[in-house]
Amino acid sequence: MSSAADLDPDTEEGCAPPREIEDLFGHDAAWDAFEQARQSQRMHHAWMITGPKGVGKASLAYKAAVSLLGETRGLEAAARKVRAKSHPNLLTINRPWDEKRKRWRAEITIDEVRRVPDFFSRSAGEPGWRIAIIDSMDEFNRNAANGLLKTLEEPPERGLLFLVTHSPGRLLPTIRSRCRHLELRAPEVEETADWLVRRQGIDSGKANSVSMLAKGAPGRALAFLHSGALDLEQDVRNLLDRLPNWDQKSSRRLAARVSARGAEGLRPQFFASLSRNAARLAKERAIEGLPPDAWLTARLEIEKLAGETQGLYLDTKQAALSALAHMEKAAREAR
């Protein structure tokens, strides 16, 4: 049985690792743009692949890498080596595994990024392209971002980078300006729901609900199905539907659920659900001509907690209880 460390850190729960996905759903236009560049022999040295989480950015990067690496010894051989993490001409930079804590580290550090110029400075293991995939740039700290600039400014011959990012606007302008951008958009909710029914065998009602929750991103939708996020979303809504009364027992039960061992995939969805519902309640108050400030403040505090829980290794149960306490406070102030 493979451990978490055998997977890529950003693999969505219920999905195959991006390096193993061959069927890219909903991205024909983006793939055609890449293929046109490849066939024209005017390949840009750095591609920034953008789009929401779970839309297929890393999967497209690996498919593109296989397409290039397969030019010398065939697509099948290249795909097999990429899936096995054994292709000598491919380097992947992810958040490193923390063996002591048995979890992925929160950031990609300069030590990881130094592997990129070192990789390109060595002789290629096979003829043809050498490729580095960075998944994702959003997890770079500032030193790491600066450390990548020299490689972008002085691209190696027959060297190519794929930079995956959910939030390109947060990256250094000097990095963005040196890349060709390839934007992936989530399919329409109805398209993803239909795909879930046809290719995944999901009940149509559940497929539609989870596709709406994922805003059409297929990887997110699968992750929500397998992590129990759809049930969690309903539990959060049930708790909030009782407002202005606050159910302390249900609140504590939710915190215990998302902090239990094995619930790691559910925790980001818990904070996202609270944030999303705080925004919804703020909007509803504003429409009614009432001040939305309490719910807007709750949303900001919950998003801050979510980041700190991952980045600073805060106690998960205490963080969950604190997030719910912000919701309770907002409910009291909004009475």
Q: Give the pLDDT confidence of 97-119 residue by residue, as tens digits.
A: 877 777 777 789 899 999 999 99
Rounded to an integer, what distance in angstroms lies between the CA atom of residue 43 and that of residue 215? 32
The answer to whether 187 touches 195, Cβ cutoff 8 Å, is yes
Domain ranges of the chain: 4-183, 189-227, 228-333
All residues at 6 or more sequence positions from 17 whose CB lies less than 8 Å from its CB, including other chains: 7, 8, 11
Alpha carbon 317 to its chain's center: 23
| Bridge partners for 93 per DSSP | 134
- The band of 231, judged by pLDDT with boundaries at 50, 70 and 90, is confident
What is the arithmetic mean of pLDDT over 316-327? 91
For residue 134, the surrounding DSSP H or E stretch is: strand 130-135
CATH topology of domain 4-183: Rossmann fold (3.40.50)
Give the model confidence (pLDDT) of 33-80 as tens digits: 999 999 887 889 999 999 998 899 999 999 999 999 999 889 999 999
How high is the pLDDT of residue 5?
Answer: 46
- Model confidence, pTM: 0.80
How do strand 90-93 and strand 130-135 relate by DSSP bridges?
parallel
On the question of pLDDT at 2 being above 60, the answer is: no
Rounded to an integer, what distance in angstroms lies between the CA atom of residue 239 and that of residue 235? 6
Give the model confidence (pLDDT) of 111-155 as tens digits: 999 999 999 998 888 899 999 999 989 988 888 888 999 899 988
Give the Cβ contact number of residue 333 at 10 Å.
13
